[in-house]
Amino acid sequence: MSTRYTFSQRYVDTSVERARWRSTANVRVHPRLQLGVEFNAVAEEVGPLVTLFLTTEGPRVPGVFLGTSSDRIGSPPGEQSYYMTLAKSIPELGLATYATVNYSEWDDEINFPFGATLALGRGFSVRPMYDGAETHMLLNYDMPRATISFLWVWLEEPGISVSFGF
């Protein structure tokens, strides 16, 4: 990521309070460390976001990072997750994949989220993903400094996310 500051706002059309609104702000304080805050407005919850990049992705090696954020969409307020993720792009296929080992405070167990982003062309991509318990689908439109994502949370609930960075 070449941006130093990123901001994101998500809305999901659901009755699950914590899942409805989510705002995040992050700052890259070092090339390998990103710190941020997450605010879930309806649940009146504020929590930390931390990402420590252990390795950056190379032609033959994945990027590896450790982090923490709120637990899955729909989890109760106050529940964190702690994870290690491996991410690898395959540019010839227009594909970017990730796999995670995640400790969920909500479940008090380890789960294994994963997903992939497939470029469709003209700035569009699709991302099927599994969060360790549920499946979601995103249709993304990427611009130079912003992304708009149309969400299908739990393959049931519509939503939208807008992210930008500078």
Could you list the residue range(s) of the whole structural domain that residue 152 is in?
5-165
The pLDDT score that the predictor gives to residue 18 is: 86
In the prediction, which pLDDT does 74 show? 87
The whole-number average pLDDT for the span 82-100 is 98
3-state SS, 93-162, equals: HCEEEEEEEEEECCCCEEECCEEEEEEEECCEEEEEEECCCCEEEEEEEECCCEEEEEEEECCCEEEEEE
The tens digit of pLDDT for each residue in 4-62 reads 999 999 999 998 888 899 999 999 999 999 999 999 998 899 999 999 999 999 999 99
Structural domains counted in the chain: 1
Q: What is the pLDDT of residue 2?
A: 62
Side chain identity, residue 49: L
Residue 69 pLDDT grade (very low, low, confident, very high; cuts 50, 70, 90): very high
Q: What is the pLDDT of residue 16?
A: 87
Q: What average pLDDT score do residues 90-105 get?
A: 98
Q: Which two tokens stand for residue 133?
A: 């318990």
The enclosing domain of 125 has a CATH number of: 2.40.160.40
Residue 62 has φ and ψ, to the nearest 5°, of -80, 160
Name the residue among 159, 157, 152 with its Cα closest to residue 129.
Answer: 152
Q: Tens digit of pLDDT for each residue in 148-166?
A: 999 999 999 999 999 999 9
Per-residue pLDDT at 1? 42
Mean of pLDDT values over 67-81: 94
Amino acid in the structure at residue 136? H
Average pLDDT over the chain reads 96
